[in-house]
Structure 1
Amino acid sequence: MKAVVNFARIFVGVLFIFSGLVKLNDPVGFSFKLQDYFAASVLNLPFLVPYALALAVFIVIFEVLLGVNLLLGYLKKFTSWSILLMIIFFTFLTFYSAYFNKVTDCGCFGDAIPLTPWESFYKDVVLSVLILIIFFNQKYIQPIFNPNSHKWIFFAAFIGCLGLAYHVLMHLPVVDFRAYKEGVNIQEAMRVPEGAPEAIYDYHWKFKVDGEEKIYTTQGSYPPIDGEFVEVETEMVAEGYVPPIHDFALEINGKDLTGEILNEPKVLIVSAYNLSKTERKGWAKIKPVLQQAQEKGYKVIALSASGAAEYQEINKDFQLNLDFYFADETTIKTIVRSNPGLVLLHEGTIKQKLHWNDAQKIALD
């Protein structure tokens, strides 16, 4: 039993640290995932949405520290209770999400390892078993260092987590796991390879036959049924190939200008997914960069999911003359985690992404 407990302790501790650090690398992204869970259609906790970022930072730091404590054998009772309550809550959450198809990616490992809702649930079930073994056999958990050093290791881990959180919030994630990372050509990442598998759907046709409703299933063809057609429902049974980037589209007044922008030799994009939530001091900081880019022949545009009135307000308040292109809010959030942020494109290839705090580091040709 001692060997089993030690295995469970190491496995769970390392996984908690890894999971926490991956999300701590991108707490803004994790806060977006929490907002999905707080939505009225999921947990119906809209009052928590304004606190999503603070909660995201707290949760991931707490997760890392629990993993550290478990490996050290520090604060055994508190740590065992904490990881047990945490896994109970997240197992319920992932089951609820999977069963009712509420959130398609739990965000357990951020963008580093995307998991489907059911994969997340099964992962939590395995963790629950290991955590229960640890919880009921705490006597086998022995310190791996001098107990007097534990509080200092814990303190150092806490300070390290705070430092990392501050760095990525004031700049951008240290490691970019998203499809829009630097060096990616957006057009190439949107292409579907020849011969790639296509999605397979079942079509459930409902007919009224001899006064009784019956359902006939095909994979596309209209069934040769002698009866009155009522309705048809589709169900995806196998997902086809989905390119890494499949949601990138730029519009002005409903006109798709994606190809035009991606074929421009030099483009500087100011991304601001929601202008009502944008950091206004960021616009003042990036304004000189926008002027430099225009002088060097760059096409300078803005990207937002907000409305025309907010576009005009930003242009007026900061004395800008930006053309605002409309794009999906989730897409803009995925491209860069800063509001506003800067994206440098050369013929559709992402050359640089910057938080507005780092605007002066832009490399204009």
Structure 2
Amino acid sequence: MAKNHISYQAIWIVRIIVAAVFIFSGVVKANDPIGFGYKLEEYFTVFGLPFLNDYKVAFAIFICSLEIILGSLLIFGFWRKKVVWGLLLLTIFFTFLTFYSAYFEVVTSCGCFGDAIPLTPWQSFIKDCILLLLISFLVYHQRKITPLISDSYTRSILTACIIVISVGLGVYTYNFLPIVDFLPYKVGNHLPSLMTVPEGESLDEYETIYTLENERSGEVKKMTDKEYLSEEIWKDEEWKIIGDPETRLVKEGYQVPISDLIINDHEGINRTDDIVANPDNILLIVAYDINKANQPALLKMNKLAKDLARDYRLHTVLLTASTLADVESAIGDSTLYAEALFADAVPLKTMVRSNPGLVLLRDGVVIKKWHFHLMPDAEQLSSKYLSPE
């Protein structure tokens, strides 16, 4: 009896651990399905499946929902055979992806826990291996996984609710921005502070490795730049550097949260400080790809800029990775009431999960962000965030 009791106790502990990992993993990714979709796009590219890129968000929502559903059903003990085998197959698939990413160094971050807890591919692989062991234990003892509710009708209703909530979370955040923003452009952040190295912090340290060949003996050896100088081998004319030097990271230093945001005008003049360090209100219309942006929303934002310019001191900027010609084509016959500036698509995708989206800055601080589905009109925005002239 004691052995049987310990067995059931162990099963419950493993159930809770596995369920918690899957539910947490699914929720943090469902919180930002567009971000997880970008990660899936990297995998599609690696495996030669670029035709799936247009469906990346749908895949993201499906995977997140499946994780939450399987984790929740494991806790309740419903459909135990299907659930434990589903968890096992899903984890085998994730283990393959993380090992492939780590071994071949094709994806630098797996996105297992979204941007909430960034993991390296090797860390993710180890996590998946542990999960495989735990889930295999549950598969072996699946007959001892008892449901918390025995009534089949209640079980079906509760399962349906879990499915609706799981799918609904991803659909909601896709249409109305993440509920919790883990990115450096979240509301309240001071962007200039996140673009510089704080005093006292050190940057990454690298070493250069030279390949040298002795012209007389033909001997070939490698040495670091420090060894090259300390041994003064450069004084020996028989040793010559061959090939290109290699660079290797020795010590990881402070990582600047925002390192890739460079804003230029159409003439290539850097305007980054004019925008992120401006003490006045700056309204950004962010459209990383203006050709794929929601066109009615883009025109509505342009009209918002026009309405606000009449009564409020507001500099409005259309920030895009597209060309000036694309901007003019998207606006059509309308007059653009925002200054068109340009930046790389990667930081713009990070800035706001909406194409187009609105970001209000003041003195470098992110005051508010809007998805185009929740865009305010001039009166709503001005009454809450602006002061009349």
Q: What 5-or-longer segments of structure 2 have no aligned partner?
A: 1-6
Q: How many residues end up aligned between the 2 structures? A: 363
Say which of 184, 190, 199 aligns to 2:189: 184
Change (3 A) 1:6 1:205: same
Query: In the alignment, which of 271, 281, 299 is matched to residue 257 of structure 1?
Result: 271
The answer (yes or no) to whether the contact 2:64–2:170 under 8 Å persists in 1 is no
SS at match of 1:232: strand
Q: CA deviation at 1:318?
A: 4.1
Q: Is 1:238 matched with 2:243?
A: no
Asked if the contact 1:315–1:322 (Cα under 8 Å) also holds between the matched residues in 2, the reply is no
Distance 1:292 1:190, change over 3 A: same
In structure 2, the CA distance between the partners of 1:74 and 1:318, relative to structure 1 (3 Å rule), is farther
- Residue 224 of structure 1 corresponds to 232
Question: How far apart are residue 125 of structure 1 and its match?
Answer: 1.1
CA drift of 1:73 comes to 1.0
- Offset of residue 190 of structure 1: 1.7
SS of residue in 2 equivalent to 1:85: helix
Q: Deviations over 1:250-307 (max 9, x none)?
A: 1123221111112321110000111121111211332332113322121111111112
- Equivalences for 1:140-151 in 2 at 5 Å? 140-148=144-152, 149-151=154-156
Q: Which moved more, 1:86-95 or 1:253-262?
A: 253-262
- Which residue matches 2:202? 197
Matches within 5 A, 1:148-167: 148=152, 149-167=154-172
CA displacement at 1:193 relative to structure 2: 1.6
Cα offsets for 1:285-332 (capped at 9, x unmatched): 323321133221211111111122211112325432432211121110
Matched, 1:282 2:297: yes
Give the letter aligned to residue 194 of structure 1.
Answer: E
SS of equivalent to 2:332: helix
Q: Residue 212 of structure 1 aligns with which residue?
A: 219
Contact preservation (8 Å) 1:250, 1:256: yes
Residue 115 (structure 1) aligned to one of 115, 119, 123: 119
**1:19 CA displacement:** 0.9
Deviations 1:13-65 (A, max 9, x none): 111111111111111111111111111xx222111111111111111111110
Match of 2:95 among 82, 91, 97: 91
Contact 2:78 2:155 in 1 (8 A): yes
Asked whether 1:60 is paired with 2:60, we answer: no
Distance 1:317 1:90, change over 3 A: farther
Partner of 2:286: 271
Q: After the TM superposition, which residues 286-297 of structure 1 pair with which residues of structure 2 at under 5 Å, given as runs?
A: 286-295=301-310, 296-297=312-313
Aligned equivalents of 1:15 and 1:242: distance in 2?
A: 27
Contact 1:203-1:220 within 8 A present in 2 as well = no
Higher-Rg structure is 2
After TM superposition, give the deviation of residue 70 of structure 1 in Å: 0.7
Tell whether the 8 Å contact from 1:207 to 1:228 is kept in structure 2 after alignment.
yes
| C-alpha distance 288-308 of structure 1, shift in aligned 2 (>3 A) | closer
Moved more, 298-307 or 281-290: 281-290
* Mapped contact 1:19–1:108 kept (Cα < 8 A): yes
In the alignment, structure 1 segments of 5+ residues that lack a partner are none
- Cα distance in structure 2, aligned partners of 1:154 and 1:72: 9
RMSD: 1.7
User: What is the CA deviation profile of residues 210-242 of structure 1, one whole-angstrom value per residue up to 9, with x for unaligned ones?
Assistant: 323221124596463231111310011321101
What is aligned with 1:300? 316
Q: Which residue in 1 is equivalent to 2:8?
A: 2
Matched to 2:232, the amino acid is P
**CA separation in 1, counterparts of 2:10 and 2:222?**
51
User: Which residue of the other structure, out of 251, 255, 260, is the alignment partner of 1:247?
Assistant: 260
The code of the aligned residue for 2:43 comes to Y
CA distance in structure 1 between the partners assigned to 2:324 and 2:191 by the alignment:
26
Distance change >3 Å, CA 133–CA 196, structure 1 → 2: same
Partners of 1:317 and 1:161 in 2: how far apart?
43
Q: Distance in 2 between matches of 1:67 and 1:239?
A: 36
State whether structure 2 residue 76 is matched by structure 1 residue 72.
yes
- TM-score normalised over the length of structure 1: 0.95
| Alignment check: 8 A CA contact 1:302 1:322 kept | yes
Partner amino acid for 1:286? Answer: M
Distance 1:76 1:354 in 2: 42
8 A contact 1:293–1:364 mirrored in 2:
no
> Does the Cα contact within 8 Å between 2:305 and 2:337 map onto a contact in 1?
no
Deviations 1:64-120 (A, max 9, x none): 100011111111111111111111111111111112221111111111111111111
Say whether residues 1:28 and 2:29 are aligned partners. Answer: no
Which one of 320, 329, 344 corresponds to residue 328 of structure 1?
A: 344
Task: Tell me, in whole angstroms, the C-alpha distance in 1 between the residues paired with 2:123 and 2:269.
Answer: 39
Q: Give the distance between the partners of 1:318 and 1:124, measured in 2 at CA.
A: 53
Counterpart Cα distance in 2 of 1:89 and 1:357: 35
One-letter identity of the residue aligned with 1:217: T
